[in-house]
Amino acid sequence: MILSETQVAVRDMVRGFAQDRVQPNVFAYETQGAYPPELFGELAELGMMGMIAPESVGGVGLDTVSYALALIELAAGDGALSTVVSIHNSLIVTALVNYGTPAQQERFLSDLIGGRGTGAFALTEPDAGSDASALRTRAVKVDGGWRLNGSKQFISNGRIAKLAIIFATTDPEAGKRGITGFIVPTDSPGYGVDKVEQKLGQGASDTCTIRFDDLFVPDELVLGKPGEGYRIALSNLEAGRIGIAAQCIGMADAALDIAIAYAKERQSFGQPIIQHQAVGHRLAGLVAKLEAARQLVLHAASVKDTGAPCLKVASMAKLVASETAEEVVSGALQTLGGYGYLEDYRIAKIYRDVRVCQIYEGTSDIQRMVIARDL
């Protein structure tokens, strides 16, 4: 894909920020298990907390290709931070833009886009992951609103979020048509973080178990209409999967850059190891596979920009990018040999961070199922 001048400018701007401001601090962020709040303000100044939101609500109004390019570069600096930003943009801000009332948008979007708060998307439950229609969290109608009881699992940003979009069953007899979305400030009585999970990777991005104990949500904070929650949740999958696919490319880019630089400097048998066919051909194959995955991701983004349905191509991009990224990062680690296994060279961290990309935002098995249904 040939990029426009604007798309190149966005890519280069985010690359500079990610490499200068983010990448040198990734181990500190991981040790702390969090990002400093001011970092989100800096991201907001770059427009990254409202990239694809229209200018009419305070966003930047970027096209999806520019959004994907920005996430690629941010992930090359730190995969976990790109997760926070991807969820914030594609699942929270976009949902409010597409389904929120003017009053809801006025109340919440300014702080979200301004970097004064992040969002959490509370859909997954202990017994309802890939099958989102099997939710056990219940919302019961009461005078002036709803009472929510239940729990959610694997919720990214669950601890740091100022706002959560929560999906609960409001009509158990209606199946997936009985699910409703709710906008919930996380300081609401009854919203609690039960546990912050200890994970293989992406330690700076919190993943939580959330509990709702008789949580009251007023009628004016229903997202869309009662019963529309399942459709709202699924409508964000296209942008969400493109975002995760993009972050896969960025993390693989970072690992491959480290491996190539190392192979040019490391001497073995009197020459740089990149000149040994075993190493050079391995890296050549990884570069080719990664470029093919990149083009598929950008193609999916360009299809979304046309307004055409793109769930299949988004699933293809997410499937191919996530599985290619793991192969690329593993091959990059192998190139460094024993040094690749050490944390100091950063590939070990990227290897841990990239593995989850085949799981969240729809597992690889779910992507294949979506693609197969369209055949």
Q: List active site positions.
A: 361
- For 192, 210, 259, the CA distances from 264, given in Å and listed in that order, are 51, 48, 9
Copy the structure tokens of residue 120: 């959490």
Tokens of 210: 């959330």
**Torsion over CA: 306, 312, 318, 321 (sign):** negative
Q: Which residues contact 347 (CB under 8 A, 6 or more apart)?
A: 255, 258, 259, 329, 332, 333, 336, 340
- Give backbone dihedrals phi and psi of 145, rounded to 5 degrees, phi first: 175, -145
CA 61/CA 189 separation, integer angstroms: 35
What DSSP element (H or E) covers 185? strand 179-185
DSSP 264-311: HH-EETTEEGGGSHHHHHHHHHHHHHHHHHHHHHHHHHHHHHHT---H
**Strand pairing report for 267-268 and 271-272:** antiparallel
